[in-house]
Amino acid sequence: MSGDKSIFLFASTRMVILAEKRAIALKIPYQIIPIPKEFSSECGMCIERDSSNIKIFSSDLYKFNIIHKIVKEKNDE
């Protein structure tokens, strides 16, 4: 993945795993990464993905009661 990225935070590891299943079902590229130090969360993992179609992924997560917070967009270029 390159370019703008979004970081999704979750309250628990279980929520990260459920979100991963939704990303797979939607065929959305993603990475599970440790939460960057500048953010805190109950869970030590987060999902990073490119920012394209971010609303589609976020809406799908809410549809399945997977509560999350999008905290950052970054550019790796």
Task: List, in order of start, the domains of the chain with CATH numbers.
Answer: 4-75 (3.30.70.260)
Q: Is the pLDDT of residue 40 over 50?
A: yes
Instruction: Mark 16-28 as b/e (b = at least 16 C-beta within 10 Å).
Output: bebbbebbeeeeb
Q: Is the pLDDT of residue 39 over 90?
A: no
pLDDT of residue 71: 83
Using alpha carbons only, give the angle 48, 19, 29 rounded to the nearest 5 degrees: 45
pLDDT of residue 29: 92
Handedness of CA 53, 57, 60, 65 (dihedral sign): negative
pLDDT category of residue 1 using cuts at 50, 70 and 90: very low
Say which residue, 38 or 63, is predicted with more confidence: 63
CA distance 35 to 61: 19
